[in-house]
Structure 1
Amino acid sequence: MEVTTKGIVFSTIKYGEADLIVHCFTESDGLKSYLLRRILTARKGKLKMSLFQPLMLLELVAIHKNKGTLERIKEAKVAHPFKSLHANVSKSGMVLFLAEMLKNSIQEEEKNRELFQYIENALLWLDEHDAIANFHILFLLKLSAYLGFYPDASNIESQYFNLSEGNFQESPFGTYCEEGLKVEALKGFFGIDFDALPQIKLTKKVRLETLDLMLRYYQLHIQSYKRPKSLLVLNQLY
């Protein structure tokens, strides 16, 4: 079936000498993997390698057989030309990290328009703004709502955050309770949107610890979670 849909590139893998497998999250069908034949050696053609950078937002005309096999892209073009996302060194490091986290976290092979629109709007915001040092923490917190494990903040004034239960507690109960500056920092991300990020002031040490807290939270709530390889680069930047 031929479909026209937006797609967000999560990753690419070289296949053989000339082919490429592209993993995309599509607005119409959720996760899709496409085989692009001879794209690595072709000098002409509708599909260019530059289109398939991490988190590129594309307009796709694709053939979806929906049989669990690799699909085919007939046409692709940029849906929104990002101004800084791939040109700015700091943002490109953020992009690599977010793309890896999204690929590790989203496992839905079905349409989820709300999740797609959340990612799309977040990327558009990231492209337009410069105060982004804490963007990835808020992005992951908000993403967890779409993945089904957003923390319960009804007792947010409590001292402890239980990673396993996903709630705040007055006393440490269980193996995965955390406290301290990283928990207090995490509380500041609840109930805000991206425009409020400049108001959050964290030292690099606390930022790294808060991010690590979120990543351990993801590890407990996502099956087959893989720690992102791009984390080292991200931590050096932020």
Structure 2
Amino acid sequence: MLITTKAIVIHSLRYSEADLIVTCFTESSGIKTYLLRNILKSKKGKLKKAMFQSLTQLEIVANHKNKNTLESIREAKIDIPYKNLHTDIYKSSISMFLAETLKNTIQEEEENIALYRFLSQAFQKLDELEKFANFHLFFLVHLTHYLGFSPNLSSTKHPYFNLLDGDFQIAETNKYCISNQNSELLKQFLKSDYDNFASIKLNKIRRQSFLEMLLLYFQLHLQGFRKPKSLEILNQLFS
């Protein structure tokens, strides 16, 4: 079936000398993986390697056979161009980390318009922002809403956050309950938006500690979730 859809590039992998295997989150069909033949050698083809950098937003014409095999892309064009997301070393490191995180979290081959719009807006904002050191933290906190395990906001007055249940509570009930700077930071990020999350002041130690807590939260709620390999690079750049 020939489909025209918007798509966000999640991952690209070189396959043989001239091909790419590209995973995209599509607006129409969720996660799809494509085999792009001869894209690394052909200079006259409609598809260019530069189009398939992490988090690039495309409009594609693709052939979806939906038979658990690699799909194909007939045409592609940039849907939303970025100014510096791929050229700024700090933004590109965040992009690499977020793309790897999404690769580990989104598996469904089905339409999810709300998630697509969240991702599309988030990456546009990252491209535009001048202060973005906390962006990946803000992003992960709010991504949980679209993945189905957002922290319960009805009891944020309580001091403990139960990572296992996703609830704020008055007392500690298991080893995954925390009551420290991280639980307070979580409340701040949950209540923040694109206009004010940068005002949350964090040093290297607090930023890394909070990120480790978030990744544990993801591990507890997503089967098979692994820490992104790009985490070390991210921590070094924002130290």
TM range (shorter): over 0.9
8 Å contact from structure 2 (residues 135, 198) kept in 1: no
How much does 1:43 deviate?
2.4
| Match status 1:133 vs 2:143 | no
How much does 1:65 deviate?
0.9
| Match status 1:172 vs 2:196 | no
8 Å contact from structure 1 (residues 5, 61) kept in 2: yes
* RMSD, aligned CA: 1.0
Q: After the TM superposition, which segments of 4 or more aligned residues of structure 1 sit over 4 Å from their partners?
A: none
How much does 1:179 deviate?
2.1
Q: Which SS does the other structure have where 2:185 is aligned?
A: helix
The one-letter code matched in structure 2 to 1:178 is I
8 Å contact from structure 1 (residues 182, 207) kept in 2: no
| Match status 1:147 vs 2:109 | no
The one-letter code matched in structure 1 to 2:174 is G
How much does 1:198 deviate?
2.5
Query: What is the rounded CA distance, in whole Å, between the counterparts of 1:164 and 1:8 in structure 2?
Result: 31
- 2:121 paired residue number: 121
Select between 18-27 and 198-207 the one with higher mean Cα deviation.
Answer: 198-207
How much does 1:42 deviate?
1.7
Query: What is the rounded CA distance, in whole Å, between the counterparts of 1:181 and 1:80 in structure 2?
Result: 37
Q: Which SS does the other structure have where 1:44 is aligned?
A: coil
8 Å contact from structure 1 (residues 131, 197) kept in 2: no
Encode CA deviations 1:118-170: one digit per residue, 9 max, x unaligned: 00001111111111111111111111111100011222122211110111122
| Match status 1:224 vs 2:217 | no
- 1:15 paired residue number: 15
Question: 5 Å matches for 1:64-83?
Answer: 64-83=64-83
- 2:187 paired residue number: 187
Query: What is the rounded CA distance, in whole Å, between the counterparts of 1:237 and 1:122 in structure 2?
Result: 21
Query: What is the rounded CA distance, in whole Å, between the counterparts of 1:42 and 1:198 in structure 2?
Result: 43
The one-letter code matched in structure 2 to 1:218 is F
Query: What is the rounded CA distance, in whole Å, between the counterparts of 1:157 and 1:137 in structure 2?
Result: 21
TM-score by length of 1: 0.97
Q: Which SS does the other structure have where 2:223 is aligned?
A: coil
The one-letter code matched in structure 2 to 1:60 is I
- 1:26 paired residue number: 26
Query: What is the rounded CA distance, in whole Å, between the counterparts of 2:42 and 2:127 in structure 1?
Result: 30
- 2:6 paired residue number: 6
Query: What is the rounded CA distance, in whole Å, between the counterparts of 1:226 and 1:214 in structure 2?
Result: 12
| Match status 1:42 vs 2:31 | no
State the number of aligned residues.
Answer: 238
The one-letter code matched in structure 1 to 2:6 is K
Percent identity (aligned): 51
Q: Which SS does the other structure have where 1:217 is aligned?
A: helix
TM-score by length of 2: 0.97
Query: What is the rounded CA distance, in whole Å, between the counterparts of 1:234 and 1:35 in structure 2?
Result: 29
- 2:63 paired residue number: 63
Select between 174-183 and 16-25 the one with higher mean Cα deviation.
Answer: 174-183
Query: What is the rounded CA distance, in whole Å, between the counterparts of 1:113 and 1:153 in structure 2?
Result: 24
Query: What is the rounded CA distance, in whole Å, between the counterparts of 2:229 and 2:28 in structure 1?
Result: 29
| Match status 1:234 vs 2:234 | yes
Query: What is the rounded CA distance, in whole Å, between the counterparts of 1:40 and 1:3 in structure 2?
Result: 24
8 Å contact from structure 1 (residues 185, 202) kept in 2: no
Query: What is the rounded CA distance, in whole Å, between the counterparts of 1:236 and 1:153 in structure 2?
Result: 32
Query: What is the rounded CA distance, in whole Å, between the counterparts of 1:190 and 1:73 in structure 2?
Result: 38
8 Å contact from structure 1 (residues 94, 234) kept in 2: yes
